[in-house]
Amino acid sequence: MQVFFSIGVDALAYGMVLFIISIGLSVTMGLMRVVNLAHGAFAMIGGYIASYAARDLGLGYGFAIILAVIGTIVIAIPLERFLYRRIYGAPELTQVLMTIGITFCVIGLANYVFGPTLKTIPLPADLQGPVNLGFRTIAAHKLFAIACGVAVALGLWFLIERTSFGVKLRASVDNTAMAASLGVRTRIVYAASFALAVGLAAFGGVIGAELLPVEPYYALRYMVTFLVVVSVGGAGSIPGALIACLLLGAIDTTGRYLVPEYGEFFFYLAVIAIVWVFPRGLLGRAK
Amino acid sequence: MKKLILAAAAAVLLGGVAYADVIKIGVVGPFSGPFAIQGKNFKAGIDAYIATHGNKIGNDTIEVLYRDVPQADPAQSKALAQELVVKEGVQYLAGFYFTPDAMAVTPLLQQANVPLVVMNAATSAIVTKSPYVVRTSFTTWQTSAPMAKIARERGIEKAITVVSDYGPGVDAENAFKTTFEKEGGKVVESIRMPLSTNDFSPVMQRVRNSGAQAVFAFLPSGPTTLGFVKAYNENGLKEAGVQFLAPGDLTQESDLPALGDAALGILTTFHYAIAHDSPENRAFVEAARKAIGNPAELSFPSVGAYDGMHVIYKMIEATGGKQDAKKAVDAVKGLAWESPRGPVSIDPETRHITQNIYLREVAKGSDGAYYNKEIKTFEKQPDPGLAAAK
């Protein structure tokens, strides 16, 4: 029983970290229909800004997070205006080539500016160290990550399903020309959702930095995992991404706990099985 | 008349070449990509050696050519080595961060008449693949086996090993297990983790449940190390008194600022610490820091490269600049010198470096910087890995 709870807590924490980082990608891929392979690069930029703010400028953790999100969006705005706007609705291959190119540029720049060493984001005292749950101890920042994941999931669901912005976004995506003729300023809607996705990436990069440390190759190293989450959950679906993260987190953690010698066998077995049964992902929308 | 002048000019030119040759050394390593910092350390060690010893031996000028293999890629490594030998005419090959890269080049050496000086790749068997291989770094067996003796000395009966599931990880596991059990201890469990593992919390729970008094770990230096050490602290293993043991790859100096307080008290065994206290090392560190630019990036591959250059310089002296791989290698068999890491020698049998292995503890200096503090020395350690493979 104790083992069961122990695995459960670890799985929840890992799943939530995955969720926070991947959900932005789900928004760009599912709602904006852009295969954004530079998503990891934006998460990494967020991590670098937070690390710089907290370590070199001595700002608090909260300020570092806000600065990371805003800073990454500011960097992303010209990219959206001059690069991404050209590839909305373009064939997937064009999108893949351009965004992977951006990723390589960001890796090179990060290597040049910050150097190849690991960068950490110092946590405030409250989030450091272990918390005793009775049956075991868990890192305080993992509990914080779980809370952030829940908040992000609820907030996004509300924004997309319950606000007028969400309605306009879904309308613009489903039929840009029709939405525009009804008076929706689709360019602004696209720019705003791109900023939202990038901001979520940066937020995830900072919150997840304890598990996925920030270094120049972050941008590519974890991209496969993010893409797997989106394809299993169904691009564009927030509940789908949440279920996918919790499911994959649970499978990965259980496998690692009970039979580590099998490596990631169970993780990818589950991915194959799910995608086989649900080709659009668990809750993917039909085109 | 015209012909005569030409002939005279040609004779002068050729004569000039005969008196002052350019001797080329080809260095293959990761100079870009995720392991670029290790390649930078090769270059820093080589530059430091040239800066302190000059780039001339007799009348011959030394020229170093670099070739980049960003990740372990045996085919690419072999192709670049061939290009260096055939097109550039290098007399010596050196560098090699990854074992498979070095292994791929060994079949070329005999025919090319070129010695290979391995500056990092740490699998024992490389030296057996060709009689022209000399290694100036270390092997995972060499640095891991003393750790098992330390564990026994400190009264640890039961230990668990946790390694990344790839060549060097398995090497480290075998080295620790063999030595630990020979000394009368018991390894209760051996966990091998996939290289791509990010969340180490489940592993730490298993370590805890195993009831071991110490965990011996090996992961490739870099991002995973950070997550692993943090998970060790956060899952309460440090408080529970489970001792963390590892070879020094885990606490390489360039990772220490990121590891921070989490790494304090970790025991490692390794052949070199930048904090090593000797006049040779102080001079080396000063020159190498200047060469690498950012002092925080200096790490252990630099000393393998520095000593590799020393061996190559001795080879060039012995052969008088003529290309003769056999004579060059024979000349350095048994060669002993004072390296920045301490007294070292090239074992005449294995052509691997015999050196001191130090027990170190991660400590915080008075200036707030973290360093590997040497607390015990195992003198003149050969490579136990070759004997174990037989």
Check whether residue B188 and residue B242 sit in a common domain: yes
Check whether residue B228 and residue B266 sit in a common domain: yes
pLDDT number for residue B273: 94
- Specify the number of domains making up chain B: 2
CB contact under 8 A, A117 and B258: yes
Each residue's pLDDT, cut to its tens digit, for chain B (390 residues) gives 566 666 655 555 554 444 568 999 999 999 988 888 899 999 999 999 999 999 999 889 999 999 999 888 999 999 999 999 999 999 999 999 999 999 999 999 999 999 999 999 989 889 999 999 999 999 999 999 999 999 999 999 999 999 998 888 999 999 999 999 999 999 999 999 888 788 898 899 889 888 899 999 999 877 788 889 988 988 888 888 899 999 998 899 988 888 888 889 899 999 999 999 999 999 999 999 999 988 888 999 999 999 999 999 999 999 998 999 999 999 999 999 999 999 999 999 999 999 999 999 999 988 888 999 999 999 999 998 887 766
Helix-helix angle A2-26:B201-210, to 10 degrees: 170
3-state SS track over chain B: CHHHHHHHHHHHHHHHHHHCCEEEEEEEECCCCCCHHHHHHHHHHHHHHHHHHCCEECCEEEEEEEEECCCCCHHHHHHHHHHHHHCCCCCEEEECCCHHHHHHHHHHHHHHCCCEEECCCCCHHHHHCCCCEEECCCCHHHHHHHHHHHHHHCCCCEEEEEEECCHHHHHHHHHHHHHHHHCCCEEEEEEEECCCCCCCHHHHHHHHHHCCCEEEEECCCCHHHHHHHHHHHHCCCCCCCCEEEEEHHHHCCCCHHHHHHHHCCCEEEECCCCCCCCHHHHHHHHHHHHHHCCHHHCCCHHHHHHHHHHHHHHHHHHHCCCCCHHHHHHHHCCCEEEECCEEEEECCCCCEEEEEEEEEEEEECCCCCEEEEEEEEEEEECCHHHHHHC
Nearest Cα of chain B lies from the Cα of A122 at a distance, in angstroms, of 10
Check whether residue B123 and residue B148 sit in a common domain: no
Nearest Cα of chain A lies from the Cα of B16 at a distance, in angstroms, of 43
B260 closest CB neighbour out of A7, A120, A137: A120
* pLDDT tens-digit readout, A67-93: 999 999 999 999 998 999 888 888 999
Q: Which domain holds residue B167?
A: 141-270+357-389
Q: What is the CATH number of the domain that holds B312?
A: 3.40.50.2300
B199 closest CB neighbour out of A3, A253, A261: A253
Of B328, B272, B291, B274, whose CA–CA distance to B46 is shortest? B291
Contacts of A119 in chain B (CB under 8 A): 258
B254 closest CB neighbour out of A13, A117, A120: A117
Check whether residue B93 and residue B147 sit in a common domain: no
A217 vs B: CB within 8 A: yes
Check whether residue B122 and residue B211 sit in a common domain: no
Complex confidence, ipTM: 0.76
A89 vs B: CB within 8 A: no
Nearest Cα of chain B lies from the Cα of A181 at a distance, in angstroms, of 48
CB contact under 8 A, B194 and A213: no
Q: Where are the domains of chain A?
A: 2-277
CB contact under 8 A, B223 and A213: yes
pLDDT number for residue A266: 87
Check whether residue B305 and residue B171 sit in a common domain: no
Check whether residue B292 and residue B241 sit in a common domain: no
Fold of A2-277: ABC transporter involved in vitamin B12 uptake, BtuC (1.10.3470)
Each residue's pLDDT, cut to its tens digit, for chain A (287 residues) gives 777 888 888 889 889 989 998 999 998 888 888 899 999 999 999 999 999 999 888 888 999 999 999 999 999 999 998 999 888 888 999 999 999 999 999 999 998 888 877 888 888 888 887 788 777 778 888 889 999 999 999 999 999 889 999 999 888 888 888 999 999 898 889 889 999 999 999 999 999 888 888 988 888 888 988 999 999 998 888 889 999 999 999 998 888 888 877 778 888 999 999 999 998 888 876 55
CB contact under 8 A, A10 and B33: no
Contacts of A215 in chain B (CB under 8 A): 222-223
- Mutation test of the interface with chain A: which of B71, B189, B198, choosing the one with the most A Cβ atoms within 10 A? B198
Name residues 168-197 of chain A within 8 A of B (Cβ).
Answer: none
Helix, strand, or coil here: A65?
A: helix
Pairing between β-strand A137-139 and β-strand A130-132 as defined by DSSP bridges: antiparallel
B202 closest CB neighbour out of A129, A222, A257: A257
Check whether residue B310 and residue B369 sit in a common domain: no
Contacts of B164 in chain A (CB under 8 A): none
pLDDT number for residue B3: 64
CA nearest A108 in B: which residue? B33
pLDDT number for residue B141: 92
